[in-house]
Amino acid sequence: MIVEIPDQIINQSGLSAKEILLKIALVFFQEEKLTLGQASRLAGLHQFEFQKELAARNIFVHYGEEDYQNDLKTISFI
């Protein structure tokens, strides 16, 4: 899918296309519409770099009870 943003909107925002993609990725991640990997790819960043962007904005990585239980299972196999 291709989404076009008119140049006028981009110019008025004062942001580059890359910055707009980052902002979209951050919002979608924060609203749990995208996973960390998906949001990272949308932003065009490595996951570690995307996590740094999250931290800079005080946005927490989603880590629930199910994730915790899966990690415990993984650790027990080591």
Q: What does the domain layout of the chain look like in residue ranges?
A: 7-76
Q: Look at residues 50, 69, 70 and name the one whose alpha carbon lies nearest to residue 61.
A: 50
Residue percentage of the chain with pLDDT more than 70: 97
What pLDDT is recorded for position 78? 56
Segment 32-53 shows an average pLDDT of: 94
Of 77 and 59, more confident: 59
What pLDDT is recorded for position 77? 67
Report whether pLDDT(70) > 90: no
pLDDT digits (tens, 9 = 90+) for 2-13: 889 899 988 999
Upper half-sphere CA count for residue 28 (Cβ side, 13 Å): 18
